[in-house]
Amino acid sequence: MDTDIELPEVRSQESEVRSQKSDVRSQKSEICHLFSVICLLSSAFCLCVVAGCENANSQKPPLVEQIESLTEQKKQLENKLEQSGFENEQLKKQMHILSGLPEQVKGENLYHLQKIRIGKYTGFFDKDESGKKEKLIVYIEPIDEEGDIVKATGAVDVQLWNLNSLEANEALLGQWRVEPNELKKLWFATLVKINYRLTFDISDKVKSFDEPLTVKVTFTDYLSGKVFKEQKVIKP
């Protein structure tokens, strides 16, 4: 059960429109300021000419160079302002299209995430066939209110623990975070199973697999803001 439309994209684009409007106002203010400076410097330059400060064989006075530089900056800002206005209009059109989507594909109607489940095949693997298990693969199944696995958008935090460790500071063996942009690339679908498949390098973190180790997963759902937690014991 998947969908190509995600609310965070709508919110992101609304935020971008507001940001673009703010940039336009800022650039207008900067152009006005530069215009005032140019007028002031131009007046000072005229006074220097009248007083005989310039002659035909001399190089450009610093004042002239400043005026030319500010004029060029003003031109660049005007171009940026024009480009920002165009981008602003494009974002408005996108928001108009998105706002017209039917209610059944908006908000939490996309899915109601109820829990997450760590897949039964989660465990340690010898991917390079070296005789040593150097990878931890974690399968995560987001479950909606109908019991279906859905491609929920969010961030995942994974921790690997040795809860039998006698030293408290040695109990946490490793921890990782997967951001939404990376997580969506890890969606794994077969004919019989769909889930997120996360792979982590543990070659320098786990010294022995002779005792049970625990995987703890925290999934932050970006649609509802809810946080779901689950853990699984991986037996030797």
pTM: 0.55
Determine the average pLDDT of the residues in 198-202: 97
Question: 129: which 2 tokens?
Answer: 């066939």
What is the residue extent of each domain of the chain?
7-105, 112-234
Cα–Cα distance for residue pair 107/44, rounded to 1 Å: 60
Determine the average pLDDT of the residues in 122-146: 93
CATH class of 112-234: mainly beta
- What is the Cα 17 distance to its own chain's centre? 17
Considering just the CA atoms, what is the radius of gyration of the chain in Å?
30
Of the ranges 4-8, 24-28, 40-44, 160-164, the best mean pLDDT one: 160-164
CATH number of the 7-105 domain: 1.10.287
234 exposed, middle or buried (CB, 10 Å; 0-12, 13-18, 19+)? middle
Q: How does the average pLDDT of the chain come out, rounded?
A: 79
